[in-house]
Amino acid sequence: MLNPNNTEYLKQFGRSLYLLGRHKGAIDVFNQCIELDANDWEIYLYKGLSFRYMRNFDEAIACFKKSNELHPNENTYLELGKIYQLIQNYKEALQTYAEGLNTYPENSDLLTTIGLLYIRLG
């Protein structure tokens, strides 16, 4: 497990850095993970979260989109929609949430979020 080429170990280390608020360090570790396994959607999800906290929204969007290409996930749709709302691109936010609802129609967070966004937009 302590092998520096073990993707799961590096991914957990990156998550720990993310949770500690060391987002730049986390991104560096996630980049190492991508070199070893570019097809792991979770790496891109956490890398996107780190970019979001650093307020680098363009990079975060790219990471979340790549994560969804590899494996659509409810959390990724929610995070991507939140970023679109932060940059006031409500059309893309609605499209993202709608796409998420097509994939996960029973997700209450997606349903609530899209409903609140519709109310906010009138």
Roughly what angle, to the nearest 10 degrees, separates helices 41-53 and 57-70?
160
More confident residue, 57 or 9: 57
Quick: pLDDT tens for 17-50.
999 999 999 999 999 999 998 999 999 999 999 9
Task: Examine the pLDDT at 15 and tell me if it is beyond 70.
Answer: yes
Q: Confidence band (pLDDT; 50, 70, 90) for 6? A: confident
Q: Would you mind telling me the total number of residues written for the chain in this entry?
A: 122
What's the CATH fold of domain 1-62? 1.25.40
Contact (CB, 8 A) for 104 and 113: no
Q: Computed over its alpha carbons, how large is the radius of gyration of the chain?
A: 15
Nearest in space to 86 (alpha carbons), one of 115, 47, 57: 57
- Amino acid identity, position 72: P
The pair of structure tokens assigned to 47 is: 């890398």
Quick: pLDDT tens for 92-112.
999 999 999 999 999 999 999
Q: Which ranges of the chain would DSSP assign to H, the alpha helix?
A: 7-19, 23-36, 41-53, 57-70, 74-86, 90-103, 108-120
At residue 2, the pLDDT reads 63
At residue 1, the pLDDT reads 53
The pair of structure tokens assigned to 71 is: 């494996």
Mean pLDDT over each residue of the chain, to the nearest integer: 93
User: Domain-by-domain residue ranges, the chain?
Assistant: 1-62, 72-122
